[in-house]
Amino acid sequence: MARVLTLTLNPALDLSIRAGAIRLGEVNRTESTRLDAGGKGINVARVLAGLGHDVTVSGLLGADNETAFVRTFAECGLRDAFVRVPGETRINAKLSEQDGRVTDLNGPGPRIPERSLEELIERLWPLLPGLDAVVVSGSLPPNVAPEQFAGLITGIRERKVPVWLDTSGPALVAGLAARPSGVKPNETELAGWAGHSLDTPEERLRAALRLNTEGIDDVLLSVGAEGVIWAQRGSALMARPPRVSVVSTVGAGDTLLAGSLHGVLSRWPRERSLRFATALAAESVRHVGVGDPNATDFEVLQQQTLVQELSVKQLTRETHR
Catalytic residues: 254
DSSP for 90-106, written as a single string? EEEEEEEETTS-EEEE-
Residues 161, 235: Cα–Cα separation, whole Å: 23
275-to-85, 168, 250, 257, 294 alpha-carbon distances in Å: 39, 25, 20, 12, 16
To 10 degrees, what angle do helices 252-265 and 270-284 make? 150
Count, residues in the chain = 321
Rg of the chain taking only CA atoms, in angstroms: 19
Helices (H), 178-251: 187-194, 201-213
Give the number of C-alpha atoms closer than 13 A to the C-alpha of residue 296, restricted to the C-beta side: 0
User: Contact, 111 vs 139, CB < 8 A?
Assistant: no
Neighbouring residues of 30: CB distance < 8 A, sequence distance ≥ 6: 17, 18, 19
